[in-house]
Chains A and B, each alone.
Chain A
Amino acid sequence: MPDFDPAKIMAVLAKHKVQCVYIGGSAAALQGSPIPTEDVDIVPAADKDNWVRLSAALKELDAKVRAVELDEPLPFDHDADSLALSRIWNLTTRFGDLDITQVPAGTQGYDDLKRDALDMEVAGVRICVASLADIVRSKEAAGRDKDRRALPVLRELLAMQLREKTGRPPAGPRPSRKKSD
């Protein structure tokens, strides 16, 4: 298994001008989440030209299919049409795992996520990152154990962002020295 280097995956996708929104644990980490993750999740724009660019990027990344039942990642031949046929691709690349999802749970896909996405520079490339609110929305809808584990701190981070915008005081616990009952 190669060392996980998400910035290099992002650099290759940017080099091929793949239009996508980053979501999931890596996108959350960019915004302060302390929960480690082992993959990069993207939601690509679903037009033909973008699938062509994504296919070229995946070739450069030497992407292979990964699945629990496979002893080794499976090389696969792909082009724009075959990539567009599947709603989810779980891949492994030279720089770690890459998951491609057309419509993440709780969202309507690329256009829905792009609306509130943040434009960031990471290791010299511009990327489009889903807002924390949209990451929370997606993880809440997915409802897997690993998503539920991440939700409390993501919600706290989101609340911090909102407090900064609105100037409202934090709503955290107020420890008391007295027991009231």
Chain B
Amino acid sequence: MIGGELVREARRRAGLTQGELAERAETTQSAIARLESGRTSPSFEQVERLIKLCGFSMIVELATYDDSDLVQAKANLHRGDPAARLEHMANVTNKWRALQREVRGA
């Protein structure tokens, strides 16, 4: 997770503009814009401070890294256009439903 994206998420959830957050943080709107877009890399402490200024606290936890969903996501991204991805997802859903019906009927 890029820290700037987390700041953007907190700011938008709080309904703040970049200018309003900048005012609270005693910095400039352009500094917030650079940070959110990933053009500058904030420190962990900076991210935590900005998130607090949006009215949130950051809870950090460690979990075992598992890339199985990401591998499938990458396959989806190579699946052509968005319509093909949607069709694939609907097919998966319908196949699971059919399997569930079969199991219930067995």
Contact = CB atoms under 8 A, between A and B. Distances in A.
Interface residues of A, number: 47
Interface in A128-181: 129, 133-134, 136-137, 140-141, 152-153, 155-159, 162, 165-166, 168, 171-173
Contacts of B69: 34-35, 152-153, 156
A85 interface: no
Nearest to B88: A29
Given A108-B15, A121-B83, A141-B13, A26 B65 contact: no
B76 A106 contact: no
B5 to A, nearest CB: 6
Interface string A109-133: 0001000000011110000010001
Interface residues of B, number: 37
B86 to A, nearest CB: 6
Interface of A: 1, 3-7, 25-26, 29-38, 106-108, 112, 120-123, 129, 133-134, 136-137, 140-141, 152-153, 155-159, 162, 165-166, 168, 171-173
